[in-house]
């Protein structure tokens, strides 16, 4: 007996999903969750990237329906052949609405995304993975999409650096960015923005020279968790088309048995708050403090903080506080700094707010002429 004949004798099977439900309770979301599926996503460098995603797909179920047809979610994924980008999301969501007779459709796609990164000194290449998530919803004819990226970075504590003579505690931090935009954003753009705001980025492969570079980069660039979330918001919100943004950072503390955490939600409608009156006033933007100027000169001369401090015969923590304008260098240290940075010694002292004795004598000899000259400036 042929398979065709056998199939023709199978009676029609009941469809309980279409039966009436009398409990008068609509279901917000019902569907499939945790489906592992091979997909292709857009890649800035290589056009597309193959990966394996975990997919959740749901619909809103009206109160009169008993159930939904779960198999149709997978059929729709088969039809799009695993292509998952914001460009495909509207069509995927529309198909879910149509095939499942729903007014509301939802899809969540979580995946590991890989970027090739080169070590900062040796240039050794390796792949770095980032956890990413696409979320889309279609309610009626309105679409809304959310891009979520978790970026691991290195952060170093400014307080620990300021009080310790031998180093500073640092940790791996996880920065999660959730963003809605009316313009296309590459995953790589968000990842690079976050890494630029950290004490240092992370790498999968580092040689000894690379380790030295990353460690010193973090030491020269300390960040509190508060600094991290604020800096990331400031950087990403400058991208065109940003409609809504949430940034959260969790520091897996190395000296505490708990994490430090910060979170900011921002949208273009947010108004800047007026600083509280008990906060210390900031210097005008056109005036650069001595500490900030000294740090920029040091960095432009390719001197890290530790080696520069050693040459000035001060500790790294003391120099850090000088560059934060909390401490002052001695006259002898100022002279050594001028020599190391190739700056005129008198200019160095004046920058630090110190009037050299010979200049003070000239001012004292003719203060009226000096005041007249100042008034003309």
In a domain? residue 353: yes
Q: Is the pTM of this model over 0.85?
A: no
pLDDT, residue 2, reads 52
Together in a domain, 184 and 150: yes
In a domain? residue 282: no
How many domains are contained in the chain?
2
Together in a domain, 62 and 150: yes
Strands (E), 160-283: 170-181, 200-201, 242-251, 260-266
In a domain? residue 299: yes
In a domain? residue 81: yes
Together in a domain, 141 and 198: yes
pLDDT, residue 249, reads 96
User: Measured in whole angstroms, how far is the alpha carbon of residue 103 from the centre of its chain?
Assistant: 35
pLDDT, residue 157, reads 93
| H helical segments located in 81-157 | 89-99
Which of 231, 266, 301 delimits the end of a domain? 266
Check if the beta carbon of residue 112 is closer than 8 Å to that of residue 130: yes
Together in a domain, 318 and 364: yes
3-state secondary structure of 68: coil
284-290 own/partner pairs: CB under 8 Å, 24+ apart: 289/325, 290/325, 290/351, 290/352, 290/353
User: Measured in whole angstroms, how far is the alpha carbon of residue 259 from the centre of its chain?
Assistant: 17
* Structural domain range at position 101: 20-266
Residues in the chain: 377
Together in a domain, 221 and 254: yes
d(CA 295, CA 102): 60
d(CA 147, CA 178): 6
Together in a domain, 350 and 209: no
Read off the CATH number of the domain in which 332 is found.
1.10.260.40
**Residues β-bridged to residue 179:** 147, 245
Check if the beta carbon of residue 132 is closer than 8 Å to that of residue 186: no
Residue 75 CB contacts under 8 Å (≥ 6 apart), including other chains: 99
Together in a domain, 162 and 224: yes
Residue in this structure with the two tokens 């917000």, named with its chain if needed: 28
Together in a domain, 255 and 357: no
Read off the CATH number of the domain in which 123 is found.
3.10.270.10
In a domain? residue 317: yes
In a domain? residue 368: yes
Written as six digits, the tokens of 119 are 């070590």
Together in a domain, 227 and 372: no
Together in a domain, 262 and 294: no
In a domain? residue 101: yes
User: Averaged in consecutive runs of 10 residues, what is the pLDDT profile of the chain (377 residues)?
Assistant: 55 63 84 90 88 91 78 84 71 88 91 95 96 92 92 94 86 96 90 96 96 93 94 94 94 93 90 54 63 86 82 80 83 87 86 77 73 66
In a domain? residue 209: yes
């Amino acid at each position: 007996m042929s398979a065709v004949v056998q199939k023709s004798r199978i009676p029609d099977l009941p469809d309980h999903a279409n039966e009436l439900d009398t409990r008068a309770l609509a279901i917000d979301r019902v569907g499939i969750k945790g489906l592992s599926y091979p997909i292709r996503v857009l890649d800035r460098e290589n056009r597309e990237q193959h990966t394996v995603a975990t997919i959740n797909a749901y619909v809103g179920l009206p109160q009169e329906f008993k159930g939904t047809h779960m198999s149709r979610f997978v059929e729709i994924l088969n039809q799009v052949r695993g292509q998952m980008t914001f460009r495909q999301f509207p069509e995927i969501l529309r198909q879910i609405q149509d095939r499942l007779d729903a007014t509301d459709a939802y899809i969540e796609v979580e995946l590991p995304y890989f970027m090739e990164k080169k070590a900062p000194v040796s240039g050794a290449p390796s792949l770095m993975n980032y956890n990413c998530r696409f979320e889309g919803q279609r309610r009626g004819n309105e679409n809304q999409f959310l891009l979520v990226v978790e970026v691991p970075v290195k952060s170093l504590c400014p307080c620990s650096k300021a009080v310790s003579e031998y180093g500073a505690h640092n940790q791996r931090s996880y920065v999660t960015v959730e963003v809605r935009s009316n313009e296309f954003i590459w995953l790589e753009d968000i990842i690079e923005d976050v890494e630029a705001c950290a004490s240092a980025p992370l790498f999968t492969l580092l040689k000894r020279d690379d380790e030295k570079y990353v460690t010193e980069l973090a030491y020269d660039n300390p960040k509190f968790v508060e600094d991290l979330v604020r800096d990331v918001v400031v950087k990403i919100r400058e991208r065109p088309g940003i409609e809504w943004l949430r940034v959260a950072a969790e520091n897996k503390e190395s000296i505490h048995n708990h994490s430090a955490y910060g979170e900011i939600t921002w949208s273009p409608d947010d108004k800047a708050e007026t600083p509280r009156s008990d906060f210390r006033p900031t210097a005008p933007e056109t005036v650069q403090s001595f500490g900030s100027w000294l740090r920029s000169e040091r960095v432009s001369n390719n001197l890290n903080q530790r080696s520069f401090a050693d040459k000035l015969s001060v500790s790294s923590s003391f120099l850090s506080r000088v560059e934060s304008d909390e401490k002052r260098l001695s006259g002898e240290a100022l002279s050594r700094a001028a020599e190391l940075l190739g700056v005129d010694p008198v200019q160095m002292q004046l920058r630090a707010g110190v009037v050299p004795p010979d200049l003070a004598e000239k001012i004292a000899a003719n203060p009226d002429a000096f005041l007249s000259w100042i008034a003309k400036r």
